Copies of this chain bind each other. A is one copy, B any other.
Amino acid sequence: MAQKNRKTPKQKRKYKTVNSVPGTVTYVGEKKSLKTVVDIVNYNKNLCDFNTSNKVEDAFDFKGKEHVTWININGLYNTTEIEKLGKHYNLHPLVLEDIVTTNQRAKIEEYEDYLFIVFKMLHFKDDEEIVYEHMSLVVGENYLLTFQEADGDVFDDLRDRIRNSKGRIRNARADYLMYAILDAVVDNYFTVIEAEGDKIEDLEERLFLQETSTNEITSDIQKQKREILKIRRTVFPFREVVNKLEKSEWKYIDPRTNNYLRNLYDHMIQVNESIDLYREMIWGLMDLYMTNISNKMNEVMKVLTIIATIFIPLTFIAGIYGMNFENMPELHYEHGYIIVWAIMIIILIIMLIYFRKKKWI
């Protein structure tokens, strides 16, 4: 699995098709979803209406002033549908290009009639692998378009709140819906980072208990480091986006929404601080690991040295009296053998005292 994991970023690294005409809408990504699904939500204080279609034209009728229209496109592969929607809402060709360029980093662009925000949505697939889903958002006076790479998002709770009119949402306009969507995205950043933090703490525990083999834990730390770096790269630019959004004086942002955006910015600061904290922790783990290795090496070397230092001289003495010279008077002493043993034991004791003094044993 480690193998597979290391392979994934390779496939992802595909940038804008080189040398294509600027403004061309060509899908660049992993084609997570081949078919395009269109979710249309219409609501105001009194009514609320959910539709799903697979033709983008079905969304066109809802363009009006009476209610907020949220059109969500799942699947970026079918670029003609996106171009149709773009023409209908009068989007700039470069905006359409950014919508389908899945490696575009987070940014915000202010146009006369709409705001365009690109970012990554992070959520877990099967509670294990992190999905980095490219997402774009276009918000106008009374409509909001979202573009996702695939099915599955983090907005179910938000849809519930719209359906059941929980909180301010049904009384507010498209700018608050934009806030609610971004807030859900940032909340999921927390969830993902928390989970990564738990993994780091598990690694730390394993390091302390020294349960797992040396090679496995090194590779796990490396994998975790890379994951954190990837999250950091994906999430960090979004803070600047939220900051610009808060500072923006775009005509359709209600002053009351500004308090909420300030709050969102606070959360993004906290997200980034958490990421940096875990980054620091994982570097600390590497240090701890290297220290462990050094400690163990030291201990191993001490054992070797003690054994060798004691027995090599003794073996030498035994070797001496194993020689076959004709004329070795000690061999014929009555107590020669006992004396040699005594000498050996004295040497042993001296050695042990020396090691004790050196605090090796």
Interface string of A65-109 (1 = CB under 8 A from B): 000000000000000000000000000101001000001110101
Q: Which of B107, B190, B293, B328 contacts A337 (CB 8 A)?
A: B328
Copies of this chain present in the complex amount to 5
Q: Are B327 and A324 in contact (CB under 8 A)?
A: no
Smallest CB separation, A121 vs chain B (Å): 13
The reply to whether A22 and B180 form a contact with Cβ atoms under 8 Å apart is yes
Interface residues of chain A, those whose CB is within 8 Å of chain B, are 2, 6, 9-10, 13-16, 18-19, 21-24, 92, 94, 97, 103-105, 107, 109, 154, 157-158, 161, 166-168, 179-180, 183-184, 187-188, 190-191, 194, 197-198, 201, 204-205, 208, 210, 214-215, 218-219, 222, 225-226, 229, 233, 259-260, 262-263, 266-267, 269-270, 273, 277, 280, 284, 286-305, 307-309, 311-316, 318-328, 330-337, 340, 358-360
Can you show 20 pairs from A to B with CB atoms below 8 A apart?
Answer: A13-B194, A16-B187, A16-B190, A16-B267, A19-B187, A22-B179, A23-B167, A24-B167, A92-B259, A105-B269, A208-B219, A222-B288, A301-B305, A304-B304, A307-B309, A308-B312, A318-B323, A325-B337, A327-B333, A327-B335
What 13 new A-B contacts, CB under 8 Å, besides A226-B284, A307-B309? A6-B208, A18-B188, A22-B183, A105-B273, A289-B291, A294-B297, A307-B313, A314-B316, A315-B316, A319-B319, A323-B324, A325-B333, A326-B336
